[in-house]
Amino acid sequence: MQKCLHSGTSFRLRQGGRSIRLQIFRTLLLLTSLFFPWTAYSDYAIALYGDHFKYQAGFKHFDYVNPDAPQGGELYVSGMGDFEKFNPFTLKGLAADGLQYLVFETLAVPSWDEPDTMYGLLAEDIEPAPDGMSITFRMNPRARFSNGDPVTAEDVKYSFDMLMSRNAAPVYRQYWMDVKRMVVVDPMTVRVEFGRNNRELRTAICQLPVFSHKWGNGKPFNQIALDPPIASGPYVIESYDPGSRITYRRNHAYWGNDHPTRKGMFNFERITYRYYRDTLARMEALKAGDIDLIQENSSKNWARSHQGKRWDDGELIKTTFPNRNGAGWQGFAMNTRRPLFQDKRVREALGLAMDFEWMNRMLFFGLYKRSPSYFTNTEMEAKGKPDAAEIDVLNQLQKRFGKLVPEEAFDSIPLPPTTSPPHSLRENLKRAKTLLAEAGWTYRDGALRNAKGEPFRFEMMLQDKMQERASAPYARNLEKLGIKMNYRVYDAALYQRKAENFDYDMVWAMMPGSQTPGSELFSYFGSESRNMPGSDNAMGVSDPVVDELLSRISQAKSREELVTLVRVLDRILRLGYYIVPHFYSSVYRVSYRHTLAYPKVLPLYYSIEEWSVSTWWMKQGEKH
């Protein structure tokens, strides 16, 4: 861990006058921090591997912000569906958009132009123990909640306890499962003790959101719904209309205005999310001036709807923003909790029925690429035959788990099916028919049937009508195999409830990309998450080989080891045929109002929504 000047917490003198002198020295340093708060003298950052940070001690701001951006004006953005609560940490109900990065803050925050590094925010000092079994945070004495109270160690522990309780969404217990306990050392210091040496957990716990113990006025945590959060972020909730609109107002007493991780950010006086039931209504709102920008995920809308008089006159600007985000994965996820999808041969056959090249040409205007991997667009994507390091890991796994490690993992990893010549959909469907027959499914009496005569039919659960465009041609191809796939769009509340309880056959699912996958993988692929309501394990993966790899990934001691382990995980998952992989793009497509401006330097790893509300500003002299 890199030091800046002297770290008071690094000294451990306990003898006579030396201890007294040390206390005086630490007091002087604390007073210095109060008068010169951003002259850091402590462990201001932490990296997953090593201690080399892009931003050195005493940095003024991130490169991808405009530190001189004017403040003021109002930004109107869109939310989809509706919302019912201001507590984003509980399972039931839909939380309002924007809460996580406008209202709540964490112990440390990542920069968006380097992987693996967290810079202290609420915590001014981050000190991991040499043995890797704990990490200590000293809170920034200037940090304040929206009610004016200081952010203390007790508040940090309270937040952790609430998020780890049964009253919070289970994903937090999964994320920090290796935390043994959190101890309040003194009013401004907490120590987090780990149950095992998990390097990734050091940065994961840095992402703990902190809120006041006064929030909810003593209510059980899962009953805090529309109580305005008492948190430390730059905005507070000014007004709202449940299911329709929520407006955040900048907190003029915000403690972090000049903090180096906040300088040049959060420039709008007000940010309003207006909610729409579908993307068509949202597009009309952009044209009418009710919202200021749209990130477009539909290639059809991008090609056909983002044009017209408003764009021709320069009122709206259409552009793309490149990024280097890991693409993660997206696809038709088969719920292996259902007997229909428990045979791997069936799952592989269903993947052969998707004709991506036709979809991309006819539906997506050639704007996408096929996703080959669970870690597309990163160095962790498995390619070709495994290298020597991967072979070594595979041999270790085979020695322990035997035939549970597929022999194909030692060979070239297959790419998703293609219909580009000399391949064809007909060829792929013939292969699918053979696999289905091996699994006991044959065509007779007008449908594909099993030995009991039961037809092969299932439903695809959809969240948005736009998903019908890719689902329909897939359903038509399945019909050629005698398989009946219905697809249905559910309203937001029912969709969330069914998704949280895995009450579906097939669903569009995804995992955000990461340059450094870690503990979040347990929620997507771990056996314990298979039957945990609210987890991200849409496919129901439960494989001891995968569990072993997840455990080793979370304990990787170098970037090189991490890359090797994730590549092996990619091979095992891809050979499980759990999803029908979709497509990806390495640019954001955005239309925005000409009154808005953004920094000249773009970040590398970012979400367009968080970047725009956090770093954009209103041009001077302009009004919404």
Q: Are 59 and 261 in contact (CB under 8 A)?
A: no
Q: What is the residue-averaged pLDDT of the chain?
A: 90
Q: How far is CA 256 from the centre of its chain?
A: 24
Average pLDDT over residues 221-232: 96
Degrees to nearest 5, angle at CA 496 with 328 and 471: 60
Assess contact for 135 and 192: CB atoms under 8 A. yes
Is residue 269 within 8 A of residue 73, CB to CB? The reply is yes
Query: What pLDDT is stored for residue 13 in this prediction?
Result: 27
DSSP state for residue 360 in the 8-state scheme: H
pLDDT (tens digit per residue) in 314-347: 999 999 999 888 888 999 999 999 999 999 999 9
Altogether, the residues listed in the chain come to a count of 624
For residue 288, pLDDT over 60 is answered with yes
Q: Which letter, b or e, does each residue of 308-337 get, where b requires 16 or more Cβ atoms within 10 Å of its Cβ?
A: eebeeeeebeeeebebbbbbbbbbbbbbbb
Query: Taking the complete model, does pTM exceed 0.85, yes or no?
Result: no
- In this predicted structure, what is the pLDDT of residue 300? 84
Distance separating alpha carbons of residues 470 and 623, to the nearest angstrom: 40
pLDDT tens, position by position, 355-367:
999 999 998 888 8
* C-alpha span between 246 and 258 (Å, rounded): 27
- Residues 6+ away with beta carbon under 8 Å from 330: 371, 508, 509, 510, 511, 581, 582, 583, 584
Q: Which residues are bridge partners to 331 per DSSP?
A: 509, 581
Binning pLDDT at 50, 70 and 90, where does residue 22 land?
Answer: very low
Q: Which residues of 472-511 are buried (b: 16+ CB within 10 A; e: fewer)?
A: ebbbebbeebbbebebebbebeebbeebbebebbbbbbbb
Q: What is the CATH number of domain 235-325+586-618?
A: 3.40.190.10
Task: Quote the percentage of the chain above a pLDDT of 90.
Answer: 79
8 A C-beta contact, residue 507 and residue 496: no
pLDDT (average), residues 500-526: 91
How far are the Cα atoms of 265, 290, 384, 597 from residue 71, in angstroms, in the given order? 9, 21, 51, 12
- 41-91 tens-digit pLDDT: 348 999 888 777 899 999 999 999 999 999 999 999 999 999 999 999 998
Q: Which of residues 42 and 395 earns the better pLDDT score?
A: 395
- pLDDT tops 70 at residue 351: yes
Least reliable range by pLDDT among 223-227, 348-352, 509-513, 538-542: 509-513
- β-sheet bridge partners, residue 333: 507, 579
Q: 121 or 26: which carries more pLDDT confidence? A: 121
CATH 3.30.1300.10 fits 329-417+492-584, yes or no: no
The SS3 call for residue 546 is: helix
Secondary structure of 146-197 in the HEC alphabet?
CCCCECCHHHHHHHHHHHCCCCCCHHHHHHCCCEEEEEEEECCEEEEEECCC
CB atoms within 10 A of CB 150: 17
Question: Mean pLDDT over residues 298-316, rounded?
Answer: 93
Res 170 pLDDT > 70: yes
**Cross-strand bridge partners of residue 588:** 321
- The CA dihedral of 36, 37, 41, 46, to the nearest 10 degrees, is -160
pLDDT of residue 39: 31
Residue 35 has pLDDT above 70, yes or no: no
- Tokens encoding 380: 């962790």
Give the span between the Cα atoms of 505 and 498, in whole angstroms.
11
Over 90: is that where the pLDDT of 129 sits? yes
**Mean pLDDT to the nearest integer, 398-402:** 97
- Is the pLDDT at 467 greater than 80? The verdict is yes
Per domain, the residue ranges of the chain are: 8-68+104-223, 235-325+586-618, 329-417+492-584
Residues 91-113 pLDDT 10s: 889 999 999 999 999 999 999 99
Which residues does 571 contact at the CB level (< 8 Å), separation at least 6?
382, 386, 390, 394, 409, 413
> Looking at residue 32, what is its pLDDT?
36
What CA–CA distance (Å, rounded) separates 301 from 303? Answer: 5
- Whether 222 shows a pLDDT value over 70: the answer reads yes
Looking at the chain, the whole-number percentage of residues with pLDDT higher than 70 is 93
Q: How many CB atoms lie within 10 A of CB 621?
A: 7
Kindly tell me if the per-residue pLDDT of 16 is higher than 70. Answer: no
Got the DSSP string for 375-430? Answer: TBTSTTS--SS--HHHHHHHHHHHHHHGGGS-GGGGSPPPPPP--STT--HHHHHH
Q: Do the beta carbons of residue 65 and residue 29 sit within 8 Å?
A: no
Q: What is the pLDDT of residue 544?
A: 98
Give me the pLDDT at residue 624, please: 63
d(CA 477, CA 479): 5
What's the pLDDT at 326? 85
Instruction: Please give the pLDDT value at position 157.
Output: 98
Residue type at position 121? L
Tokens of 184: 């309040």
Q: How confident is the model at residue 466 (pLDDT cuts 50, 70, 90)?
A: confident
Report whether pLDDT(453) > 50: yes
pLDDT at 31 over 60: no
Q: Do domains 8-68+104-223 and 235-325+586-618 have the same CATH topology?
A: yes
Rounded mean pLDDT, 298-327: 92
Q: Distance (Å, rounded) from C-alpha 208 to C-alpha 158?
A: 11
Q: Which of 337-346, 550-559, 562-571 has the lowest mean pLDDT?
A: 550-559
Residue 303, pLDDT above cutoff 60: yes
Mean pLDDT of 4-33: 33
Q: Where are the alpha helices (H) located in 406-512, listed in sequence order?
A: 425-438, 468-479, 492-500
**Is 443:454 a contact under the CB 8 Å cutoff?**
no
- Check pLDDT > 90 for residue 19: no
Q: At what angle do helices 559-574 and 544-554 cross, to 10 degrees?
A: 160
Is the separation of the CB atoms in 200 and 66 below 8 Å? no
Over residues 215-234, the mean pLDDT reads 96
Task: Give pLDDT, residue 512.
Answer: 85
Q: 519: which 2 tokens?
A: 């503990």
In 3D space, the residue among 567, 489, 516, 573 whose CA is nearest the CA of residue 539 turns out to be: 573
Q: How far apart are the first and last CA of the chain?
A: 46
Helix (H/G/I), strand (E/B), else coil: 3: coil
Interior CA angle at 281 toward 305 and 95, to 5°? 125
- Report how far residue 536's alpha carbon sits from residue 507's, in angstroms, rounded to the nearest whole number: 12
- Lowest-pLDDT range of 52-56, 214-218, 497-501, 611-615: 52-56
pLDDT at 623: 66
Q: Using CA atoms in the order 14, 18, 19, 23, what is the torsion angle rounded to 10 degrees?
A: -150
Residues 6 or more apart whose CB falls under 8 angstroms from that of 3 comprise 10, 42, 43, 57
pLDDT of residue 160: 98
Instruction: Give me the DSSP letters along 220-274.
Output: -GGG--SSPP-B-SSEEEEEEETTTEEEEEE-TT-TTTT-TTTTT----SEEEEE
Confidence category of residue 38, pLDDT binned at 50, 70, 90? very low
pLDDT score at 10? 27
Closest-CA residue to 521 (of 555, 470, 497, 486):
555
Hey, which CATH number is domain 8-68+104-223, 3.40.50.150, 3.40.50.10300, 3.40.190.10, 3.20.20.70?
A: 3.40.190.10
